[in-house]
Every structure is written in C-alpha cells, then in structure tokens.
C-alpha cells in the first residue's frame, strides 16, 4: 500500500459505493472520538438512554474503532436513502416510521456492504475490516459528521444539504489508509422547527435528545407499559416517529429511494385504524414478513395501538 495510491483507493471505493446504490460516501481517519467522549458520558449519566442498556455497554469500543478492528486506519461512512415515494393518507391511519415500510434495512444494507468490502479486496488486495449497520457500538452519526456527508442537526440526526435526513448510515472500518474528507458546516441556523414540533419534548435543547422521552423509544425500545403521562401525545404513531424529520426544512430536498426491497407490502397503505386495532398474527406476519416492525412482535405493536387509541381522559 503505497502512499501515492491513497487517492486511487479512495476514488475506487466512492465509485463502487455509488454503483451499489449508496447516495453519499465519506472517509475519516480511524481514531478516538475525543469530542464525543464527554458528551456520551454525560448523556448516559443523565439516564437519557432509558432502558436502552446496550448504549452504556462497550463504552471504549463505541469511541474508538481501532478496538473493533485491529489496525484500523479508516472509517468509510455510507448513506442509503429510504425516503418513500408514497405515504398513506394520514386521515384514518396509524403511522409507522418510513424506514420500516419495506424489508429490514439491516439485511439490505449489510449485503451491499459485504459486496463493497469484497470489491475492495478484489481490486486492492488483502484489506481487513468489518461492516456495520446500526448493530454494533459505533457512533455512526459522529463518523458521518467527520466524513463530511452531513452535519448533526438540532434533533441529533444527520442532515445532508442535498437530500435531508431520510438515510440509513452504515460504515466500513478497514485497515486501509485513504484520503480523508473534512466536516461540513452546520446549516441549521436559527431554525427550531424540530424542537417546537416534538409532542413529548424529547429534544431538551438544540442537539440534545432525551432518548427516554422519544416516541420511537416508547414504541420500539421500551418493553414495559408506556407511561400514562404521555397518553394523547403520540399523534397516531405506533412504531417509531418521523415528526422531527417531517418538519425539517432540509427534507424538502428528499427524493424517493430507488430500492425495490424498501417498497411496502401492498396491504400496508390500505390499512385503516380499525384494521390495525383488529390485527391478527397472520396479518402481522404477512404485512411485516421482512420488516423492522417485527422487532416489537405482535404483542408490542398491539400495546402501542391500544395506547394511542385510548384518548387522554377529558378530566386530565
């Protein structure tokens, strides 16, 4: 691996990533995330991860990719669009996050990452590395920011000036030195639409989200009963929540994805509230056969539907 070839390696990886359907690809030098360490520590100390105990695990690995891949030199960050062409008419529907409409992204993107890693090895030689899609202690948004594919918005999500925020973030951590991209400017400015729109006030202040107050946390991560104090505040969301993304001005640039695997089951957009409330195991398995919604299991989804369907008592 000669120094003069860094440019060629980098160009090849970016070109191949685009061929595989990734919308953006950026590079950063692997190393300890100094700025993020105290922030993560404070966030955990304040209990903003709620019952997501895994967020407190592998603290050192979460901050240092060289502890995940021995000899790691580079973190390659990739963005994959999931913005759907159509969303159901909201009038008589319960809502699920757009990312869960089609096949579980873990499977779709992992396949593409492994294809990219294989292509790198075929073209360059023996390169050691691992692929990550939201399933390991990797601070993906921090790496995305360092890689220049976007900035962290006030809702704590990654924003991209060209296409907004409806992206999955994935990484390759490899022992190959590359040419690195620098971070981009923060374009949130004085806008507070995401903060103002959050019905559970999960965005405590700009750039700080209390995960334990987020609708996505309540409907996906929380295994116990949803606190009664939040009744009437879910705006019909029964799996995840897109409110802070839907109101973000940068998402006016979102374009429909080109991934057939992300197309929803044909019955999904036809389901009215009554269909959701009467959902059976058979329908659940059919409509969400390969979807991330399976994570809640039917019982969890039914809990969410019952909670959202029960309107807040008039006496409160």
**Sequence-separated (6 or more) residues with CB below 8 Å from residue 308:** 94, 234, 236, 237, 238
Do residues 131 and 110 touch, judged by C-beta distance below 8 A?
yes
In the chain, count of helices (H) and strands (E)? 11, 10
What is the rounded distance in angstroms from the CA atom of residue 273 to the CA atom of residue 194? 26
134 is annotated as an active-site residue: yes
Catalytic residue among 134, 242, 246, 267: 134
pLDDT (tens digit per residue) in 242-256: 999 999 999 999 999
Domain boundaries, the chain: 3-87+98-174, 193-256+264-309
pTM of the model: 0.89
**Residue 313, pLDDT score:** 45
**What tokens were used for 252?**
């006016």
What is the rounded distance in angstroms from the CA atom of residue 308 to the CA atom of residue 305? 5
Do residues 146 and 171 touch, judged by C-beta distance below 8 A?
no
**Exposed, middle or buried by CB within 10 Å (0-12, 13-18, 19+), for 313?**
exposed
Alpha-carbon distance values, 149 to 65, 152, 160, 258, 280 (Å): 19, 10, 7, 19, 42
Strand partners, 77: 26, 171
Name the percent of the chain lying above pLDDT 90. 69
What is the rounded distance in angstroms from the CA atom of residue 204 to the CA atom of residue 15? 40
Q: What is the mean pLDDT of the chain?
A: 88
pLDDT (tens digit per residue) in 174-204: 999 999 999 999 999 999 999 999 999 999 8
Do residues 294 and 286 touch, judged by C-beta distance below 8 A?
no
Alpha-carbon distance values, 173 to 71, 75, 129, 232, 247 (Å): 10, 5, 5, 43, 33
**Sequence-separated (6 or more) residues with CB below 8 Å from residue 280:** none
| pLDDT tens per residue across all 316 residues of the chain | 443 488 999 999 999 999 999 999 999 999 887 666 556 666 556 655 555 544 454 556 677 888 888 999 999 999 999 999 988 766 789 999 999 999 999 999 999 999 999 999 999 989 999 999 876 667 899 999 999 999 999 999 999 999 999 999 999 999 999 999 999 999 999 999 999 999 999 998 899 888 889 999 999 989 899 999 999 999 999 999 999 999 999 999 999 999 999 999 889 988 999 999 999 999 999 999 889 999 999 999 999 999 999 864 433 4
């Amino acid at each position: 691996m000669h120094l003069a070839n860094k440019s060629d390696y980098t160009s090849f990886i970016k070109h191949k990533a685009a061929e595989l359907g990734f919308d953006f690809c950026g590079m950063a030098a692997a190393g300890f995330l100094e700025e993020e360490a105290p922030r993560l520590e404070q966030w955990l100390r304040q209990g903003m991860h709620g019952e997501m105990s895994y967020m407190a695990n592998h603290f050192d690995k979460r901050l240092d990719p060289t502890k995940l891949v021995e000899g790691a030199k580079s973190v390659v960050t990739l963005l994959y669009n999931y913005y759907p062409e159509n969303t159901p008419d909201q009038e008589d529907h319960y809502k699920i996050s757009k990312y869960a409409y089609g096949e579980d992204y873990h499977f779709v993107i992992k396949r593409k990452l492994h294809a990219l890693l294989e292509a790198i090895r075929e073209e360059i030689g023996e390169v050691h590395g691992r692929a990550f899609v939201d399933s390991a202690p990797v601070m993906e948004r921090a790496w995305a920011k360092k890689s220049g594919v976007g900035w962290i918005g006030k809702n704590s999500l990654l924003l991209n000036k060209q296409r907004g925020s409806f992206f999955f973030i994935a990484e390759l951590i490899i022992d190959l030195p590359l040419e690195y991209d620098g971070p981009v400017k923060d374009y949130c400015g004085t806008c507070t639409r995401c903060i103002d729109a959050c019905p559970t006030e999960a965005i405590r202040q700009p750039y700080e989200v209390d995960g334990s107050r987020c609708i996505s946390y309540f409907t996906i991560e929380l295994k116990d009963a949803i606190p009664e104090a939040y009744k009437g505040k879910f705006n019909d969301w029964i799996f995840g929540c897109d409110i802070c993304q839907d109101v973000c001005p940068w998402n006016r640039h979102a374009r429909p994805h080109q991934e057939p695997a992300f197309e929803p089951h044909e019955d999904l957009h036809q389901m009215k509230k009554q269909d959701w409330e009467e959902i059976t195991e058979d329908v659940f398995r059919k409509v969400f056969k390969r979807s991330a919604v399976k994570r809640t299991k039917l019982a969890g989804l039914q809990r969410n539907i019952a909670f959202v369907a029960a309107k807040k008592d008039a006496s409160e």
